[in-house]
Amino acid sequence: MPYAQPKALDGLQTAVGISGRVRAPAAVVPSCQLLPTTIGAGSKTGHAVSWEFENATGFEAFDAGCQKEVERHFQEWQSGGPARVKVSARVVVISVDFKKMTSLVDGSSRVRKIRRVRFSD
Go through the domains of the chain in sequence order and give each one's CATH number.
Answer: 31-119 (3.30.720.50)
What digits encode the pLDDT tens for the residues 54-67? 999 999 988 788 89
- b/e 82-99 (16+ beta carbons within 10 angstroms → b): eeebebebeebbbebbbe
pLDDT band for position 121 (50/70/90)?
low
For residues 34 and 60, give the distance between their C-alpha atoms in angstroms, rounded to a whole number.
9
**Percentage of residues in the chain having pLDDT higher than 90:** 47
For residues 53 and 71, give the distance between their C-alpha atoms in angstroms, rounded to a whole number.
14
pLDDT band for position 25 (50/70/90)?
very low
Predicted pLDDT at 74 = 98
pTM above 0.85, yes or no: no
Does the pLDDT of residue 29 top 60, yes or no? Answer: no
Does the pLDDT of residue 80 top 50, yes or no? Answer: yes
